[in-house]
Structure 1
Amino acid sequence: MVSIRSASLAGTEVEAGPDAVRALLLDVVGCGLLMPGVESLTAEGDDIYHYVLQTISNGAVSHTPDHRTRFDTSDPALIRWEPVGEHNFRSWGVFRTTDGHAPGTTYLEIDTRSEADVAIAPVVLPLVEPFARQQSDQVTEGFLAAIKERVESGARVLSGATS
């Protein structure tokens, strides 16, 4: 068993105020289900959530991530998460929100790192890690786009604007 490590950092300007962005982020289940690849997400209490993700396969490796995560929402500008317990996948990260470049906008950033325990020979690891990094970047960028779309569509409805 080896651990495949990856990390991603992505950000975007959201056409909504920080309260609207944070409201979605604080809905951990509703927001988490926007993340590409999430099959199920359930609240277990004490800010702990159980994720089951779709199987990831690249021909050499097949892995179904299953993990528990604790969220820390005590800082108004940061929402952090970290793994809880021993699982075949672990994720650490933070959502950061800052004022956007224009009034009524928010800059949202996702900074994450993860480890997946897979049954492969250590010699294969250098061949698999680039795929894991690419997959992590795609998930992070897709998640960010889905959050942006959800928040902005809600902001348009609240303001009476349509597009």
Structure 2
Amino acid sequence: MVSIRSASVVGTEVKADPDTVRALLLDVVGCGLLMPGVESLTAEDDDVYHYVLATISNGAVSHTPDHRTRFDTSDAACIRWEPVGSHNFRSWGAFRTVPGSGPGTTFLEIDTRSEADVDIAPVVLPLVEPFARQQSDQVTEGFLTAIKERVESGAGAAS
């Protein structure tokens, strides 16, 4: 068993005021379901959320991420998450929001890093990690795009 590590940082300006953007981000389940690949997301006790993600496969590796994450929403301008317990996938990160470049805009950044435990020979790791980094970037960019579209459509907090 080896850990595949990846990280992504992406940001964009959203045509909505910071309170509107934060309202969506604070709806952890509704917002989390906008992330590409999330098959289910349920709230548990103590700000812990259980994620089951779609299986990721590149021919050499097949992995179905299943993990629990705790969110710290005490600072709405920087909502953080970290893994809880022992699982085959762990994610750490933050949503950061600051006023945008003009009135009624917000700059939103997603900063995330993750580790996936997979059953492969260590010698294969250098071949698999670039794929994991690419997947991480695609998911993070897709998540940011979905959040932006939801907020800018006027739909507000996800249902």
What TM-score range do you get, normalising by the shorter chain? over 0.9
Shift of 1:145: 0.2
SS of the counterpart of 1:109?
A: strand
Normalization by structure 2: what TM-score? 0.97
CA distance in 1, matches of 2:35, 2:52: 12
Counterpart of 2:73 in 1: which secondary structure? strand
Q: How does 1:12-161 map to 2 (within 5 A)?
A: 12-154=12-154
Contact preservation (8 Å) 1:20, 1:155: no
Query: Which letter does structure 2 place at the counterpart of 1:72?
Result: D
Counterpart of 1:160?
A: none
Q: Displacement of 1:26 after TM fit?
A: 0.4
Q: Deviations over 1:11-66 (max 9, x none)?
A: 00000000000000000000000000000000012100000000000000000000
Report the CA distance between 1:76 and its aligned residue: 2.6
For structure 2, which runs of at least 5 residues remain unmatched after alignment?
none
Q: Distance in 1 between the 2:19 and 2:86 partners? A: 34
Q: Secondary structure at the match of 2:92?
A: strand
Deviation at 1:155, TM superposition (A): 6.7
1: distance between equivalents of 2:27 and 2:76?
Answer: 14
RMSD: 1.0
Matches of 1:115 and 1:59 in 2, distance apart? 19
TM-score by length of 1: 0.94
Contact 1:16 1:155 in 2 (8 A): no
Distance 2:61 2:112 in 1: 22
Q: Could you tell me which amino acid in structure 2 is paired with residue 124 of structure 1?
A: V
Percent identity, please.
87
- Return the letter of the residue paired with 2:151: V
Contact 2:17 2:104 in 1 (8 A): yes
